[in-house]
Amino acid sequence: MASAHAIVSACRWWLSAPPRIARRGLRYAARAVEPTKPEAPTPAVARKGDHIKRVAIVFSGGPAPAANAVISAAAISFMEDSREVIGFFHGYSNLEDYHPVTHRLLPDEHYRIFTEKDVNGLRNTRGIVIGTARANPGKGIDKPEHLTDPAKTQRLRNVYNALVDLDIDALISIGGDDTLKTANFLYEYQKRLPPQARRVQVVHLPKTIDNDYRGIDFTFGFFTAVDVMAKEL
């Protein structure tokens, strides 16, 4: 579990990092960065990130060993800080189809509000507690100019509107390289919104048994996959 908690600890730091640093972290997909030490303790009421009250987790793409361990570590980490955590079912499937009238997202049908009972012991279970799917709201966006194209960003806009409608302050994205691109598109899309528009912070946790991420040594689940395949040979 140490590796899962290490990932989440870094994740929480990115949420409170200055925009310039956070952008760098997203661009290089969780490359290790050491934050500078503050000159003096910061009062709790003034800490960066304290505005984050509700955090959402989405797991997208193929499955990977230790999925529930990472989801559990993320949820517990934020819940211990008195932040509400929800998990979206089936990746981006419902998020990208969101509509304020015809397809609102409902608790227990499209997402779960995690409780202490939900996450206790979850790390030792198999599968993905919130499910996953291949839905990709960033598909079709190939260059920066597409981020201002209403047709190209329709599904990405649906995701953003769903998060705002549900009063989400931060999104934890768990997935492979395509999901990383979607997380980056969501971040870049929000940069192009009017100044008064609400911003949802986005942090991505690398997940793939292929271990083909640039900038990090390994992704969770990789060693388990290698061990299983080695035993089959």
97 or 41: which leads in pLDDT? 97
| Burial tier of 101 (Cβ tally within 10 Å: 0-12, 13-18, 19+) | exposed
State how far the Cα of 149 lies from the Cα of 155, in Å rounded to an integer.
12
pLDDT tens profile 195-205: 999 999 999 99
Q: How far apart are CA 171 and CA 27, in angstroms?
A: 16
Given a cut of 50, is residue 171 above it in pLDDT? Answer: yes
Using a pLDDT cut of 90, give the percent of the chain over it: 59
Q: What is the dihedral of CA 79, 171, 29, 123, to 10 degrees?
A: 40
**Does the pLDDT at position 97 exceed 90?**
yes
How many whole angstroms separate alpha carbon 161 and alpha carbon 54? 15
Per-residue pLDDT band for 125 (boundaries 50, 70, 90) equals very high
Sorted by where each starts, the structural domains of the chain and their CATH numbers stand as 2-31+47-232 (3.40.50.450)
Mean pLDDT, rounded, for 154-167: 98
With contact defined as beta carbons under 8 Å apart, do 175 and 202 qualify?
A: no
C-alpha distances in angstroms, 63 versus 72, 141, 183, 192, 194?
15, 24, 18, 33, 37
Structural tokens at position 78: 């934020």
Task: Check if the beta carbon of residue 66 is closer than 8 Å to that of residue 98.
Answer: no
> Apex CA 87: angle with CA 64 and CA 165, to 5°?
140
pTM of the model: 0.77
For the chain, how many residues are written? 233
Nearby residues of 231 by Cβ (< 8 Å), 6 or more positions away: none
CA distances from 135 to 169, 191, 209 (A): 22, 23, 19
